[in-house]
């Protein structure tokens, strides 16, 4: 029965992930063609900062909720309300900070003043994304993935409808209006997602008797798991945040034009990496199902089940990475032209694709370490990986090889992080 629950949860996430990814690609194709290369470049240059904010805003609390609810540590609704209180506080602080810092980041760090208003718009979406993530963590801990799957699909459908109807109208005003619309539509889609989750909450909850104020014991339990986990993610996203800053400044110093850097960086992220990470919903599905499953068996001391599930997860991730990376490598030009109407970025995919076989193992390895209580170790690995990546990026950016400096640093980061995760996981299991 328990095995069936794990397989059922994974299957539900795979189906919803496929639908979400399929609709997501239609969305990406639509807005890429509507806002054009310049709009994509503006959106892309602001994305690393947004990624960092999206990591800090939920504070990895959804993972903590999933683990605590799966282990039956305290009342699940009490855990949920404590998490919501922490999340709202953090998001309020982040929005205030971005209100004062968006122009400074855009002008002085990203070297693109027009990105300032985009960063501010991105900050306004944070509370909605965070609350939705918290509810996903709650249902993942219950191993009820139907709400997660339903909300993801509905959210993507709403996004697609808004993009198709409103983005062309905004584009008639200006590219900036269109990019801002693309960012702010996240608020509408996330609200729809939150509404879906509320329909799936237990009907017998008495919110009048449920205390909204934080319980210190539950809060400590949440933060003990979330802080080490989010620290690793923050470190990774700080690296991503500094990536365009280092790249832009050093390539400008090496004699490349700002237009070349903006265009190629946009192509690299929007076309090359986007295509290579296309099958990532498979890994997301198995990792989301694996975390509460491993946490439960680990809490019971059932090492045999833990090892069995990890092996299954790694085998699935490896086969997924091998099949899709091979197909993307072989048909890269056809795929790029079909999806984006351009073969730009094919040169980067040709080099990156063989190494992305290993990239798909990272999600399963990280989820396994977190479930075994080694979130601090994943944080350390992330730190070492980011430091190495930024050093390599800095050195090769001065070698007059353009965006290939970023490609090389990405490959070295993948190899280092995956092998180190595997080493510590094997050590923990032994």
261, 246 Cβ separation under 8 angstroms: no
Task: Quote the mean pLDDT of the chain.
Answer: 83
CB 132 within 8 A of CB 61: no
Is the pTM value of this prediction over 0.75? Answer: no
List the domain boundaries for the chain.
2-429
What are the pLDDT digits (tens) for 254-309? 888 888 888 888 889 888 988 898 877 777 777 777 777 787 777 777 788 888 88
Q: Is the pLDDT of residue 386 over 50?
A: yes
User: In the block, which residue shows the tokens 């008495």?
Assistant: 206
The answer to whether the beta carbons of residues 413 and 388 sit under 8 Å apart is: yes
- The C-alpha angle with vertex 137 and arms to 133 and 138, in degrees rounded to 5, equals 120
Q: How far apart are CA 161 and CA 171, in angstroms?
A: 16
Residue 153 to residue 317: CA distance in whole angstroms: 23
**What is the reported pLDDT for 39?**
87
Q: Are the CB atoms for 180 and 118 separated by under 8 Å? A: yes
Residue the block writes with tokens 């939705």: 132
Residue 57, helix vs strand vs coil? coil
Q: Which of 1-15, 94-108, 233-247 shows the lowest per-residue confidence on average (mean pLDDT)?
A: 1-15
Among the ranges given (110-114, 277-281, 414-418), the one the predictor scored with the smallest mean pLDDT: 277-281
Angle, to 10 degrees, between the axis of helix 146-173 and the axis of helix 2-56?
Answer: 30
Task: Give the model's confidence band at 331: pLDDT under 50 very low, under 70 low, under 90 confident, else very high.
Answer: very high
Tallying the residues shown for the chain, one arrives at: 430
Six token digits for residue 325: 């990376």
Is the pLDDT at 205 greater than 60? The verdict is no
Cβ proximity of 397 and 251 under 8 Å: yes
User: 274: which 2 tokens?
Assistant: 């986007």
Q: What are phi and psi of 368, to 5 degrees?
A: -65, -45
Rounded Cα distance between 67 and 55, Å, is 18
Average pLDDT (204-214) is: 56
**Average pLDDT rounded to a whole number, residues 406-419:** 93
């Amino acid at each position: 029965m328990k095995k069936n629950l794990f397989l059922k949860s994974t299957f539900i996430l795979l189906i919803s992930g496929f639908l979400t990814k399929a609709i997501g690609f239609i969305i990406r194709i639509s807005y890429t063609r509507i806002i054009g290369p310049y709009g994509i470049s503006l959106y892309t240059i602001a994305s690393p900062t947004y990624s960092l904010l999206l990591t800090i805003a939920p504070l990895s609390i959804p993972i903590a909720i999933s683990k605590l609810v799966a282990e039956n540590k305290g009342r699940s609704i009490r855990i949920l309300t404590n998490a919501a209180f922490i999340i709202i506080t953090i998001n309020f602080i982040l929005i205030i900070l971005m209100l004062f810092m968006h122009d400074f980041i855009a002008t002085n760090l990203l070297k693109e003043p027009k990105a300032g208003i985009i960063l501010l718009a991105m900050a306004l979406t944070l509370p909605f994304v965070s609350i939705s993530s918290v509810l996903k963590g709650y249902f993942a801990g219950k191993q009820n993935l139907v709400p997660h799957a339903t909300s993801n699909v509905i959210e993507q459908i709403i996004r697609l409808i808004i993009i198709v109807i409103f983005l062309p109208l905004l584009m008639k005003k200006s590219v900036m209006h269109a990019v801002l619309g693309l960012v702010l539509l996240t608020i509408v889609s996330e609200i729809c997602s939150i509404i879906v989750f509320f329909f799936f909450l237990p009907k017998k909850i008495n919110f009048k008797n449920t205390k909204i104020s934080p319980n210190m014991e539950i809060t400590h339990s949440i933060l003990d798991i979330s802080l080490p986990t989010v620290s690793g993610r923050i470190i990774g996203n700080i690296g991503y945040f500094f990536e365009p800053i280092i790249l832009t400044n050093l390539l400008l110093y090496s004699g490349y034009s700002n237009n070349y850097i903006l265009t190629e960086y946009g192509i690299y992220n929007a076309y090359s990496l986007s295509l290579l990470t296309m099958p990532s919903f498979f890994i997301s599905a198995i990792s989301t199902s694996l975390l509460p499953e491993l946490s439960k068996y680990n809490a019971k001391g059932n090492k045999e089940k833990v090892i069995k599930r990890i092996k299954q997860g790694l085998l699935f991730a490896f086969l997924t990475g091998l099949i899709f990376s091979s197909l993307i490598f072989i048909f890269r030009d056809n795929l790029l032209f079909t999806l984006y109407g351009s073969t730009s970025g094919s040169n980067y995919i040709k080099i990156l694709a063989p190494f992305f076989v290993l990239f798909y193992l990272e999600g399963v390895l990280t989820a396994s370490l977190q479930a075994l209580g080694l979130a601090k170790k994943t944080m350390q690995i992330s730190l070492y990986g980011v430091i190495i990546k930024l050093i390599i990026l800095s050195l090769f950016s001065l070698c007059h090889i353009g965006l290939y400096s970023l490609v090389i640093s990405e490959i070295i980061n993948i190899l280092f992080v995956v092998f180190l995760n595997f080493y510590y996981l094997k050590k923990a299991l032994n």
